[in-house]
Amino acid sequence: MVTRPTGVCYRKIFNKLQEGLRGEKTPRKGPKVTTPFSSQLRRQAESIWRAIYAHPFLRELQAGTLSVERFTYFILQDYLYLLDFAQVLSLGGAKSPDLQTLEIFDRHALTAVEVERSFHASYGRSLGFSQKQLDAAPKGPITEAYTRHLQAVARGGSLGEIVAALLPCYWIYGVVGKKLHRRRPRRPKIYREWIETYASEGFWNLVREQIRLMDRLGAGANSSEKKSMRSHFLLSSRYEYSFWEQAYRRQRWPV
Active site residues: 169, 240
DSSP string over 123-175: IIHHHT--HHHHHHPPPPHHHHHHHHHHHHHHHHS-HHHHHHHHHHHHHHHHH
Residue 233 near residue 168 (C-beta atoms within 8 A): yes
Which residues, 6 or more positions from 219, have their beta carbon under 8 angstroms from its beta carbon? Answer: 34, 37
Beta-carbon neighbour count of residue 103 at 10 Å?
12
* DSSP annotation of 95: T
